[in-house]
Amino acid sequence: MSTIFRDFAPGDETAFRDLNEEWIRALFALEPKDEAVLNDPKKYILDPGGYIFIAEQDGKALGCCALLNMGNSSYEVGKMAVSPETRGQGIGRKLLEHVIQQSRERGATRLYLETNKKLENAVHLYAALGFKAIPEENRTPSPYTRSDLAMDLFLV
């Protein structure tokens, strides 16, 4: 079974929401900003110049990751999720590598993300792909209460 990585298409809204809701509800709580973005990814991600990528096998979405336009060729990596039944198979790494490559090809110069230190596998993956922690005193306040770590990756 090979995994393909593709841009978001109409009809992917439910998978995007379900994949993200699963991990957020399992470990944290769904917050108002999550609800807004997951209920209308077109309005909050795509229309302002962002992107969503889907990892798919045999027509089923197994993972997703969004790039939210922050302006000045910077994007926030957000709403990254992999289905529980396929975790540990390297799909998350391949998806994030795809997102980084697509970011470069689309002219991004910086990627930013927020996460939580208890998501050790995710934090390790981000660091392994070149993301660096932003010192707390240089962080912008997050709209998410669960966010306790910010990282960025410069692409130039």
- CATH number, residue 65: 3.40.630.30
The domain tally of the chain equals 1
Domain range enclosing 142: 4-154
pLDDT tens-digit profile, the chain (156 residues): 689 999 999 999 999 999 999 999 999 999 999 999 999 999 999 999 999 999 999 999 999 999 999 999 999 999 999 999 999 999 999 999 999 999 999 999 999 999 999 999 999 999 999 999 999 999 989 999 999 999 999 998
Beta partners for residue 79, in sequence order: none
Would the pTM of this model clear 0.85, i.e. be above it?
yes
Taking the C-alpha atoms of residue 51 and residue 8, their distance in angstroms, rounded to an integer, is 7
CB 21: neighbour CB atoms within 10 A?
15
Q: Which pLDDT value is given to residue 156?
A: 86
